[in-house]
Structure 1
């Protein structure tokens, strides 16, 4: 159908581009909350991605307010389910109340313990905890709730492991719902973890997607790229030197291998690695781990003596607490020995390992404990940062307890772990500890000076979702296995609204020579680089390499390295910066305020209508601006999806770096438009449409494509989809002649099911139907019942708005579409 290029001002053309790419309007008022401009922009983009893809990953930097962005998006849905760590439930209840919304809530911990859903329906089997500002809706206990329309997964990296018990249960809940993932650290270790998260709304096809293909699904901004979002800077992390304890490390490495459970395989390397990490945290953490290891060896030995060998699950029947152990009857809980190796050899190995642990524990009890020196280092640090609030994180509660024993006499010091909080005067509730340590972050009145807490020693219980903006110093008491945990720790203090200009970061150096520590640091830095390439990273999280400050380090590490150097922006961050730039164009004049010049556009109309295909007629805003390089920036609708495409010089496409360059040129000054200018705009329009036609013909824009398509090619569907299609074909071929019309209609519905949006939950449901319904006719009817109906999308492509630019806009002959 015909479309007309209409000459408008550059401001109007830019506003038209923004209106097509970001059509969703978001109210900045959310209950008693006023969203910041960057939060409104994020909500607008996330809403568009949910519509187009069925899911989105909001990976904004820690402290930019992802919770309120999620609620701003979720208020458009009738049934909202929030899944979050148990420790963040109170925070979410407060946020939902402030937003004056209704939502169901579940914790990851509850999902790990029991099945809350039936996979065949995706319905809740129990009523989640509920926070409503209005009168709660009563529901009989045990009555299934309606499936949610949107599921918000806060700290979504808790759902990254497909082998975890909670993953299939989360997949069932998200089966037919839109899925919004919230995490600043979606790649703790490997890119496959990011793919597992995306599979919750894209299914098995996510398993083969590259970081470039994943980028269109991610909204990622840092404080440095968000105008008006002022977060404290993060100073380069620094090591805290501690006494050498390499003799203990050597003793650990000489421990004989442990005898694993019947189903445990050879866990010797992992066991040693765990003990080394606990040794680097504190002597107390190592001692507690060795005692647990000794108790496990005793349990295996007792079971072996009774003629049985326990599995890992059966060992959990032995309850170990502190130094006491409650034994189960091995005859009742353990696997018969007939399935195991020679009992004599096993018993000898167990005794050897147990004796070595006992000797090591005795040696540790009679050697100086380094924990006191580490606590003294914190005392000195407190003197350096007098008047500031310091939060110290550790993975292990034993480490927190050890520091607390040495620091508890100091005024203003508290500890906090899963067991609760404590100050010098006694036990204290977690909420009271947080109120005294971070009154601004907890939105409470400051305590009297004598009651204030200025140093908080805590486990990673507080490393997620808690606002500690009052803190200006963060101390890593140990190096966690995942660098994302270190970023989360720093993010507790680096928040919007913080009065601090700089967050100072320290890390306790592992107590061994640099040669022994470098491998751990290299492993962490490698993980940092993987995460940075996929989603970016906001700040340095590790101090300089050990070799940079230790005289006896390897020569290759003797250079004056100054910490991890931030890589260039990731693909997701470049895309987000383009969207943010275009969002600022929305404030310009819209087309139709009288400033356009359709009567002067006759020279640029010829040749355009013939190449607009399959979509309704409309006016296409067009303009031209001055730039040092010839090209254009355009919005085209391709298979019912608006996509931003650009040409700069001889490059054309939707790569984020190309779009960023074209957006910069599109903000140039307006130039007088004559006949040559009209011809240049017409040539640019033809080029843009030719590229849009090629994208549509090559299926470069998926039916679930999004604005800023980035030439997204989703991998072909696999797994459940292939199995369903094969069985559909077999069922049709075996159907009786009189039954084929009915079966053909069911087969068409089944094909639509697998050709539409297949989430991980839907794939699990299809697998269940394949496994539990042997009769082909009954199975086909069950699959067809999941059919959402015929698609509404109309294939075609059409230009929506275009800005041509160049040096003097040289005239080119109008391109003829092929």
Structure 2
């Protein structure tokens, strides 16, 4: 039991499934202690229901603010109404405009929180100060998109930089900047892989391009090479990536991208004639879905706001467009692959990155009319149909029955349908175009591989790009590299070795009644398996700076490695008959254990004095508060002195992202404004007092007990 994370005893709502209750209780416990948490259960495991249960437990009787992607607003409102949870639902897009939910207090729920991974974005800047002092549950199965610090920027919306100081992490920012994870992250990130067991099984396979398709793709890439694009290499690389990406999607997508590029060139020519160079915002609109691939925008970091295109490309654009239009009429090998896959008429979601490809597939696929959905419109065949109706055909229930009668089995979509939506009727997901990030892959597949699916198994088909396209864009290598990032911080199936193995062992061996004490295990090798926890009081709360389970060998060596601890626990669990206690052997074990306890006590006590590197604004505010404290001391103003010292204690500790922005804003205000702001500063981070050791259990191993 010492291996298990803390769980709050709050009663779980009746609507939660048994496998969701642990995530609910851990989320409540983490929010009570740290003020923030990331709920990272797998896609399709019902995180919305878990989060609304947390709102009922922590915000009972109050209205909870929920921030979700705009397409999910109706779904969140409907579920909350059905469950009887009072909410105000706002969208991420409204947050970007500074419009945040009014009339709410306490807990805030942020769905698909990976949209807040960039601290330089407008939505982050609006949201972070608004969240200061409010418990925040961040909900995402894919918190890491491009970089490790995607996760820390989300965490800092709800928790302070020194939140894990008691667990040995002085600064979350510094931890992630070093490219490392820590077992203590398991206190802030709740990921219950067991909650995915009720989902359908994933059956994956890859569709490989044939020679005809590869040859056509090479011709398209050669066509792009006729364009000079820009005399600035970073700009040329960015535009070339857009065109190559479109070429890999479909001939229609390349034609559409070339037409947009021509329009961009005409705008650039007009801007130059008017003495106003083309703005970077124009190129951003042209690039569209490359937003996910941040490396392309980093190429423009030193280019300022103006972007220079090669206007001489206008001379060859008519010829290039004519050849691209001819390719649209030629046989499409990639489309032929898709036709063969869809021939069995299983309900299928086909994901593509380009709107023109949606239209191309809609018009070219055989059989009954194809349903489709983009960010702008939705429809059936060439007819426009409300988006809610189209998606409803693939959710299940009465609307799905209508689709069955009409013979509607295929839905072609862009990534607008890749987050949060329940499309349980689908028996197959096709990645017609690969996205830039593993996050997109998971989100797409999660539309069908989720609780409530109508199928025991869901097929996932991944269209491999032709070799020439992979050499040009290196998409599969980028996906593989980014897929390895989550495991560094303990996320995903491959990340269990950092911290999740402890709770898995606890689940395996922690069943039944827990009894603290000593047991003798007459098995080799000689040694001691011991569990103990450290307790410290802080502000009336019981903190646990550490929970330890370790193996002490007879020679005094010590380890907390999973393989050793798991093996010893397995032997102990197989022991049925208790052996008589051996007082001498127990004393020997406690002497060995005392050395490890003293070592860990020294480490924990040393953390009390550790501080993270403060932001520049905090440095300036601290210097000004110290001067004000000296003045209050000379004037013997005890009330002002106490108020200022509390403010200084807050400034000297770790901060959330919102608190950091607050300090930046007040750092250069007038003296009177600073003192007024200081009176409203949040309480400082809690520090702990005397540390107490509590022994959970001792298992004595050795053949001497045979």
Q: 1:748 to 1:72 in 2, by over 3 A?
A: same
Match of 2:661 among 745, 764, 778: 764
Q: 1:200 to 1:370 in 2, by over 3 A?
A: farther
What is the distance in 1 between the residues matched to 2:272 and 2:76?
Answer: 48
1:433 — aligned with what?
A: 390
Q: 1:522 to 1:174 in 2, by over 3 A?
A: same
Alignment of 1:292 with 2:292, yes or no, is no
What is the distance in 2 between the residues matched to 1:230 and 1:170?
Answer: 33
1:774 — aligned with what?
A: 670
* Matched position secondary structure for 1:209: helix
2:573 — aligned with what?
A: 667
Q: 1:199 to 1:413 in 2, by over 3 A?
A: same
1:94 — aligned with what?
A: 78
2:157 — aligned with what?
A: 200
Q: 1:767 to 1:418 in 2, by over 3 A?
A: same
Which of the pair has more CA radius of gyration?
1
Contact 1:230/1:496 (8 A) holds in 2? yes
What is the distance in 2 between the residues matched to 1:496 and 1:220?
Answer: 16
Contact 2:202/2:458 (8 A) holds in 1? yes
1:508 — aligned with what?
A: 463
Q: 1:355 to 1:193 in 2, by over 3 A?
A: farther
What is the distance in 2 between the residues matched to 1:531 and 1:520?
Answer: 18
RMSD of aligned Cα (Å): 3.6
Contact 1:283/1:371 (8 A) holds in 2? no
* Cα shift readout 1:411-460 (whole Å, capped 9, x = no counterpart): 162111123322248322222222222315xx866226432421111111
Alignment of 1:251 with 2:223, yes or no, is yes
Alignment of 1:529 with 2:484, yes or no, is yes
Contact 2:44/2:196 (8 A) holds in 1? no
What is the distance in 1 between the residues matched to 2:328 and 2:358?
Answer: 19
What is the distance in 2 between the residues matched to 1:444 and 1:250?
Answer: 46
* Cα shift readout 1:482-530 (whole Å, capped 9, x = no counterpart): 1221121112111124343433222333345477368332222111122
1:753 — aligned with what?
A: 650
2:90 — aligned with what?
A: 106
Cα drift, residue 778 of structure 1: 4.4
* Cα shift readout 1:598-633 (whole Å, capped 9, x = no counterpart): xxxxxxxxxxxxxxxxxxxxxx64445566453324
1:698 — aligned with what?
A: 603
Contact 1:209/1:715 (8 A) holds in 2? no
What is the distance in 2 between the residues matched to 1:246 and 1:758?
Answer: 52
2:40 — aligned with what?
A: 59
Contact 1:632/1:684 (8 A) holds in 2? no
Q: Where does 1:500-649 land on structure 2 (aligned, <5 Å)? A: 500-511=455-466, 513=468, 516=471, 519-537=474-492, 569-571=494-496, 575-582=499-506, 588-589=512-513, 621-625=517-521, 628-629=524-525, 630-639=527-536, 640-642=542-544, 643-649=546-552
Cα drift, residue 246 of structure 1: 0.5
Q: 1:466 to 1:703 in 2, by over 3 A?
A: farther
Q: Where does 1:98-177 land on structure 2 (aligned, <5 Å)? A: 98-112=82-96, 114-116=97-99, 124=100, 128=101, 145-146=103-104, 148-177=105-134
Structure 2: segments with no counterpart, 5+ residues:
162-170, 289-304, 537-541
2:314 — aligned with what?
A: 354
Match of 1:182 among 139, 158, 162: 139
* Matched position secondary structure for 1:63: coil
Alignment of 1:465 with 2:361, yes or no, is no
Contact 1:161/1:167 (8 A) holds in 2? yes
Q: 1:680 to 1:61 in 2, by over 3 A?
A: farther
1:267 — aligned with what?
A: 235
* Matched position secondary structure for 2:125: helix
Contact 2:622/2:652 (8 A) holds in 1? no
Cα drift, residue 72 of structure 1: 1.8
* Cα shift readout 1:351-395 (whole Å, capped 9, x = no counterpart): 313324343212212345467443332221112xx2421110012
What is the distance in 2 between the residues matched to 1:371 and 1:762?
Answer: 59
What is the distance in 1 between the residues matched to 2:571 and 2:27?
Answer: 26
What is the distance in 2 between the residues matched to 1:662 and 1:44?
Answer: 29
Q: 1:28 to 1:234 in 2, by over 3 A?
A: farther
Cα drift, residue 796 of structure 1: 1.6
Contact 2:424/2:452 (8 A) holds in 1? yes
Q: 1:626 to 1:434 in 2, by over 3 A?
A: farther
Q: 1:717 to 1:307 in 2, by over 3 A?
A: closer
Contact 1:161/1:193 (8 A) holds in 2? yes
Contact 1:421/1:429 (8 A) holds in 2? yes
* Matched position secondary structure for 1:309: coil
* Matched position secondary structure for 1:669: coil
1:798 — aligned with what?
A: 693
Cα drift, residue 723 of structure 1: 3.7
1:613 — aligned with what?
A: none
* Matched position secondary structure for 1:29: coil
1:24 — aligned with what?
A: 8
Q: TM-score, normalised by structure 2?
A: 0.83
What is the distance in 2 between the residues matched to 1:648 and 1:479?
Answer: 46
Contact 1:436/1:451 (8 A) holds in 2? no
What is the distance in 1 between the residues matched to 2:606 and 2:54?
Answer: 25
What is the distance in 2 between the residues matched to 1:357 and 1:350?
Answer: 12
Cα drift, residue 764 of structure 1: 0.9
Contact 2:370/2:380 (8 A) holds in 1? yes
* Cα shift readout 1:679-714 (whole Å, capped 9, x = no counterpart): 54555556556545543432379789xxxxxxxx99
Match of 1:401 among 334, 359, 367: 359
Structure 1: segments with no counterpart, 5+ residues:
1-13, 117-123, 129-143, 322-338, 539-568, 592-619, 705-712, 812-818
Cα drift, residue 570 of structure 1: 1.0
* Matched position secondary structure for 1:235: strand
* Cα shift readout 1:104-154 (whole Å, capped 9, x = no counterpart): 221111112x123xxxxxxx5xxx3xxxxxxxxxxxxxxx635x4222221
Q: Where does 1:670-685 land on structure 2 (aligned, <5 Å)? A: 670-676=576-582, 678-681=583-586, 684=589
Match of 1:48 among 16, 19, 29: 29
Contact 1:284/1:398 (8 A) holds in 2? yes
Cα drift, residue 239 of structure 1: 3.0
Q: 1:237 to 1:467 in 2, by over 3 A?
A: farther
What is the distance in 2 between the residues matched to 1:235 and 1:451?
Answer: 29
Give the stretch that moved more between structures: 390-399 or 693-702.
693-702
* Matched position secondary structure for 1:308: coil
What is the distance in 2 between the residues matched to 1:529 and 1:477?
Answer: 23
What is the distance in 2 between the residues matched to 1:72 and 1:87?
Answer: 22
* Matched position secondary structure for 2:57: coil
Contact 2:136/2:158 (8 A) holds in 1? yes
What is the distance in 2 between the residues matched to 1:267 and 1:150?
Answer: 44
* Matched position secondary structure for 1:201: coil
Contact 2:251/2:328 (8 A) holds in 1? no
Contact 1:483/1:528 (8 A) holds in 2? yes
Cα drift, residue 403 of structure 1: 0.8
Q: TM-score, normalised by structure 1?
A: 0.73
